Chain A
Amino acid sequence: MRVLIIVLMTALLFAGGGNAAAGRTVVVGSKHFNEGYILAEVIAQLLEDRGFSVARKFGLGGTLVCFEALKNGQIDVYPEYSGTLATAILKLPRRVSYAELQDTLKRRFDMELLESFGFNNTYAIAVSRKLARQRELMAISDLAKFPRLRVGLSYEFLNRNDGWPGLARTYGLVVRPVGIEHGLAYQAIGEGKLDVTDVYTTDGDIKKFGLVLLEDDKHYFPQYLAAPLVRGRVNGRIIATVGELAGTITDAQMRELNAMVLLEGKSFAEVAHRFLHGAGLVTAQRARVEESKWLTLLSRTVRHLELTFIALLGGMIVAIPFGILAYRVRAISRPVMYTAGLLQTIPSIALLAFMIPLFGIGVLPAIVALFLYSLLPILRNTTAALFSIDPVLKKVSVGMGLTAQQRLRYVELPLAAPTILAGIRTAAVINIGTATLAAFIGAGGLGEPIVTGLALNDTSLILEGAIPAAILAILTEWAFEGLEKGLIPRHLLQRAAE
């Protein structure tokens, strides 16, 4: 029992940094895609310049994770889009004005949707600069005059009701579009194999391929104005500071910032600093030195091990006694197994998402989720090992006068130990793999570069997390092998292996 308390305390201690309400540190969050990281970094650096201490919870797994985290006070601010808030969060049936959106968020969630950064990241229709000049294309309505243009659209846009079907109706377009993978569309247009495609207005690729965006002159596309979404209860100075960013970034500027990261390989921090400096929002040179790669790797690895092994320890503390109980009391054996089995079938991302309303984001929910995952292997191996002990040995241990406690301590558990240890080993390796997903809920660890790498489609960044995680898994296997050799007489190990 005392051990359990210590473990919980430790877990809470580690998770303490994630609770924004507790300290004066401002916690900035971001979703896991390029623009989200850049904007969050801009906010973070601006706050730091104004003297706030800032914690970064970047790369959170999607809109819902960010929004819930903000609602629960796990983060203080993150960049969001007006259209996303209206449709995905508030599920509003009709279009609302920005002011209405601000009102609703204030009223229902006590959140401040600040004035927009100034750009609108929505769908747009793009053509090559050459074609635009030749045909004098300025607006989407100009397209109606050229029914023979080759239109290639991303599959999502092609099929969404608020995508092509509505667009064609609104503008009276009769041209027949074909579906094409979004990434390939840019290339196709660049090589002159395609005339028209759909893009996001702030895609860095627009600049790279020299495309022109046609004006949405009938205001068909909803607005996705990017803006800081702030927790209502934070210090007014924070709101004022972040508010300075209102109207500072145009669509073209955002495209350029995105391109700097995606195409030129600059870091988010560097791009954010350049922007802030250029806009005159910060004057000082960034004092923060880039951390060395090795130090970063080390701290990620340490965090990864923290997540994995605190969860594993908790799993052992719960699963081994329950395994023993299931062995002693047959009636509960099945319910216990099925419950643990059920937990195992929940996809890891879903399990992490379930944790947010209960534990917020950060280390604690990640540990809880990993803890739940480690239960089944340990539980199953514990009961299986106990049930398979030689009945003669059980009979002797009873017959010679050992109490139930003594039998467990001196006979049953030592004999079950190799199999139990094998279960713990399985759980440890599963945990190391699953813990990489914990970065989606801001728990850090080796998943961080993986999540960022996925957002940037950057394989080397993904490997920066994946390779150490794989090495960690192998080292863990070795460590357990050593542990087995140290703890268990050789002849029993051989028997367990047979």
Chain B
Amino acid sequence: MAQIVLENISKFYGEATALQDIDLAFTDLVTNAVVGPSGSGKSTLLQLINGLVRPDQGRVFVFGKPIDYQHLPELRLRAGYALQGTGLFPHMTVEANISLLARLAKWDAERIKARTEELMKLVNLPLAYAPRYPHELSGGEQQRVGLCRAMILNPEIFLLDEPFGALDPITRNEIQQEFLHLQRSEARTVILVTHDLREALKLAQRLVVLDRGCVVQHGTSAEILNNPANAFVRSFFESQLEA
């Protein structure tokens, strides 16, 4: 069984349908990009996996078991989470932000320091930034800190919700390169939500295309590019790639 499986999932917000009849097994140890126009349910789908959203119907399997909603923190510690706007804690230094989960897990100080520095080097953050506060960093640097924070416990899966969305093109490109570098050095199952198809094609091996709460196509990038399942997928790709 794959690490992350959605079984017959539906989710409604009042009258509105957010997701409908989703059956999906994400591929382990590669980057799975979830793409689609805004409002198609990408974020909701991602948040099903760490229990931020509970399905109205169906089951979510993570690490081979249905999610136990009574013990979500345990699950979440094994699923790194980063999102747009970084969500860094403004009252903590860079170092404190990155190491928070390790401190809560009662790692010893040396191990925390070593892991923090390792991650900062991995994403090209100067170690001198460790005692600074997030507001003293640029948007790209903050995003890198967010990634480090999500990776501190070396989680088996990685949930990224438009993590590079707010960055300027140059910075975005840099971080994307670092992300690829990261995946090569510590490969893991990544679910990446993005509205940017180019980013998806660059970073992901597999794509999930969503439209109005339904999965319209799921496969490798090449498969979908060469054989769009329907007119929607074709036009979505054309409009995105021409722009």
Contacts and interface: CB of A to CB of B under 8 A. Distances in A.
A124 to B, nearest CB: 72
Interface in A467-498: 488-489, 491-492, 495
Contacts of A401: 72-77, 79, 101
Given A406-B104, A415-B91, A400 B81 contact: yes
B150 interface: yes
Interface string A377-409: 000000000000000110111111111001000
Interface stretch (B25-33, B82-90, B120-128, B181-189): B82-90
A402 B73 contact: yes
B91 A392 contact: no
Contacts of A488: 91
A397 B81 CA distance: 10
A489 B87 contact: no
A392 B76 contact: no
B52 A410 contact: no
B83 A491 contact: no
Contacts of B83: 392, 395-396, 399
A410 B89 CA distance: 9
Contacts of B85: 392
Nearest to A411: B89
B90 A415 contact: yes
B101 A400 contact: yes
B50 interface: yes
Interface in B125-178: 133, 135, 149-150, 159
A411 B149 CA distance: 15
A488 B90 CA distance: 11
Main secondary structure of the interface of A (DSSP, over half): helix
B135 A491 contact: yes
B81 A489 contact: no
Nearest to A414: B91
Interface string A67-88: 0000000000000000000000
A398 B90 contact: no
Contacts of B133: 489, 491
A406 B76 CA distance: 14
B149 A400 contact: yes
Interface of A: 392-393, 395-403, 406, 410-411, 414-415, 417, 488-489, 491-492, 495
22 contacts: A392-B85, A395-B83, A396-B83, A397-B89, A398-B76, A399-B47, A399-B52, A399-B76, A400-B81, A400-B101, A401-B72, A401-B73, A401-B75, A401-B101, A402-B104, A403-B73, A406-B104, A414-B89, A417-B91, A488-B91, A489-B91, A489-B133
Interface of B: 47, 50, 52, 72-77, 79-81, 83, 85, 87, 89-91, 100-101, 104, 133, 135, 149-150, 159
